[in-house]
Amino acid sequence: MSSGQKMNLQGDRRPFVIGLLAFLFAGMIAILSGSAVRSLHAADAPKSTKDGVYSADQAKRGKDAYSQNCSSCHMDDLSGSGQAPPLAGDTFMDDWGGHTLGELNDTIQNTMPLDKPGSLSPSDALDILTYILQANSFPTGKTDLKGDSNTLKGIVISTK
């Protein structure tokens, strides 16, 4: 083999090596961007009622407000009666699982009690919502649930 032929063989390897390096570099970028995308999705993942989004004290206040404003129709044990649906148990979960706390809070705030819709204060409606969460065995957290719309819309009622 002449020295010119050796030079051509080495010259033929350069595009291969450059292509291989480009391929490896592109693979590394894809792996790193995949990690970034997973991190973004984790940060964007909605909270759920399994995350302890309300406090025990708030649910206690909610129980008191529920007793005063809701129990005559929905019963003391939240089992419902007649036109008043259950607020605890399988039927409640079938109806509300997958919805947000924002939707449930809006329903409580704007349509309850049925004989005086919209008469609950925002804080009472929110406290009642937390009592409903407690009655459905969702865990408590260390802080009260905040009543702002963005927070409530970002928390999904977990299916069990």
| Domain residue ranges of the chain, discontinuous segments joined by + | 3-45, 48-156
pTM of the model: 0.73
Q: Phi first, then psi: what are they for 132, rounded to 5°?
A: -60, -40
- Check pLDDT > 50 for residue 61: yes
CATH topology for 48-156? Cytochrome Bc1 Complex; Chain D, domain 2 (1.10.760)
**What does the pLDDT average to over 76-103?**
97
Residue 35: the pLDDT is 44
